[in-house]
């Protein structure tokens, strides 16, 4: 069915993550599939720093036999992680964890600029020809790098990238400036991660410490990174403006964020929003927000004015 799709992010699955048992992870999958959605997003590296537990949980739950389609990302983030040998090894390990012989989407998680892209692309093409995945994905690449892969695909008749995964939310819109025109030109779908700015819209206020264990917990590496990205005066000013309009219209900030992405952002048919949640009520609330309609014009105007005031502080769309 055309429209913007919804995918369940599983970066929190794993003993060292936030959804720490397979029984709890199953609740997430059940809640998600009950709402009529069947694609999950994972990666070699999830949950961050503790490689593989998310994929292992999905494998233990035999997710693919529950009708769930899996998008995953090869081992990346290290120099030479995208040599043909490293990619083949990564996929072998991942498929064993996932207990699958193929996935829907196989992404390069971020650029490995030490390995020639042509070698990496040839390796991905070999895996595609061997039937290991249906869609070739790129994540966190720059627009001009996406064009390089498209051209290599054309020149060599190799599998072409058809999906790009990147950060996109009402406070992180830099992809609109140069990336989206490239994606549209080459018919590449965009799957948006961090749609709720890892909780910044609802869980953080100027001068208040978020609860221990939150995505902004300063005692975790992930929390420190999120604080560097979002704890900026311009962002705190911006969220106060969102608070004012959300109170006026009786809607939550997260509902505004998700409905903006679904109905008013530059996402189009075939694109997707990747939901992250650490609690079942959060997931239910987010799914409910996504079933709601368009936003009032006053809220849209505020979102656009805010973007003008924060764009210089916004996170880069690529690594």
Ligand X SMILES: NC(=O)c1ccc[n+]([C@@H]2O[C@H](COP(=O)([O-])OP(=O)(O)OC[C@H]3O[C@@H](n4cnc5c(N)ncnc54)[C@H](OP(=O)(O)O)[C@@H]3O)[C@@H](O)[C@H]2O)c1
Q: Which residues participate in catalysis according to the annotation?
A: 46
**Residue numbers 238-257 binding ligand X by CB under 6 A:** 254
CA separation, residue 67 to residues 5, 12, 30, 137 (Å)? 16, 21, 11, 21
Which region, judged by CB under 6 A, interacts with ligand X, from 24-32, 172-180, 188-196, 228-236?
Answer: 188-196
Of 51, 202, 246, 265, which one interacts with ligand X (CB under 6 A)?
202
203 near ligand X, rule: CB under 6 A = yes
Question: Closer CB to ligand X, residue 115 or residue 165?
Answer: 165
Count of C-beta atoms within a 10 Å radius of residue 19: 25
Q: Shortest approach of ligand X to residue 318 CB, angstroms?
A: 10
Question: Closer CB to ligand X, residue 113 or residue 151?
Answer: 113
Extract the tokens encoding 221. Answer: 């590496």
Extract the tokens encoding 245. Answer: 């309009």
Strands, E assignment, 101-246: 103-108, 133-139, 161-167, 189-193
**Residue numbers 90-149 binding ligand X by CB under 6 A:** 139-140
Extract the tokens encoding 301. Answer: 């105007």
| Residues 27, 61: Cα–Cα separation, whole Å | 11
72 near ligand X, rule: CB under 6 A = no
- Confirm if 50 and 16 have CB atoms less than 8 A apart: yes
Q: Shortest approach of ligand X to residue 62 CB, angstroms?
A: 20
Extract the tokens encoding 42. Answer: 């994972």
Q: If DSSP codes are grouped into helix, strand and coil, which group holds residue 82? A: coil
Of 141, 171, 193, 230, which one interacts with ligand X (CB under 6 A)?
193
Which region, judged by CB under 6 A, interacts with ligand X, from 121-129, 193-201, 263-271, 300-308?
Answer: 193-201
Of 215, 229, 259, 262, which one interacts with ligand X (CB under 6 A)?
215
| Residues 291, 199: Cα–Cα separation, whole Å | 20
Q: What angle do CA 239, 261, 187 make, to 5 degrees?
A: 140
171 near ligand X, rule: CB under 6 A = no
9 near ligand X, rule: CB under 6 A = yes
Of 22, 162, 175, 214, which one interacts with ligand X (CB under 6 A)?
214
Q: If DSSP codes are grouped into helix, strand and coil, which group holds residue 45? A: coil
Helix (H) and strand (E) counts for the chain? Answer: 12, 8
**Residue numbers 257-286 binding ligand X by CB under 6 A:** 274-278, 282, 285-286
Residues near ligand X (CB under 6 A): 9-11, 18, 41, 139-140, 165, 193-199, 202-203, 214-215, 254, 274-278, 282, 285-286
């Amino acid at each position: 069915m055309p429209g913007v799709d919804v995918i369940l992010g599983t970066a929190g699955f794993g003993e060292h993550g936030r959804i720490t048992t397979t029984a709890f992870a199953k609740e997430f999958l059940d809640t998600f599939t009950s709402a009529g959605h069947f694609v999950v997003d994972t990666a070699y590296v999830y949950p961050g720093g503790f490689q593989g537990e998310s994929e292992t949980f999905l494998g233990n739950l035999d997710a693919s036999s529950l009708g769930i389609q899996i998008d995953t990302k090869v081992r990346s983030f290290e120099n030479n992680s995208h040599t043909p040998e490293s990619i083949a090894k990564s996929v072998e390990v991942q498929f064993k964890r996932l207990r699958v012989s193929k996935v829907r989407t196989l992404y390069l998680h971020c650029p490995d600029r030490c390995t020639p892209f042509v070698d990496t692309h040839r390796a991905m093409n070999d895996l595609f020809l061997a039937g290991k995945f249906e869609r070739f994905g790129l994540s966190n690449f720059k627009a001009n790098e996406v064009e390089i892969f498209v051209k290599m695909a054309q020149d060599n008749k190799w599998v072409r990238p058809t999906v790009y995964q990147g950060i996109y939310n009402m406070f992180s819109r830099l992809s609109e400036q140069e990336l989206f025109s490239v994606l549209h030109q080459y018919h590449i779908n965009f799957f948006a991660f961090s749609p709720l700015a890892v909780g910044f819209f609802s869980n953080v206020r100027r001068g208040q410490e978020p609860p221990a264990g939150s995505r902004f917990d300063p005692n975790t590496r992930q929390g420190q990174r999120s604080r560097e990205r979002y704890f900026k005066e311009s962002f705190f000013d911006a969220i106060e403006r969102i608070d004012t309009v959300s109170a006026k219209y009786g809607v939550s900030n997260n509902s505004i964020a998700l409905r903006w992405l679904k109905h008013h952002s530059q996402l189009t048919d075939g694109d997707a929003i990747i939901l992250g949640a650490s609690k079942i009520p959060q997931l239910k609330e987010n799914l409910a927000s996504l079933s709601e309609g368009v936003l009032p014009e006053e809220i849209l105007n505020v979102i656009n004015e805010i973007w003008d005031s924060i764009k210089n502080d916004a996170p880069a769309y690529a690594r």
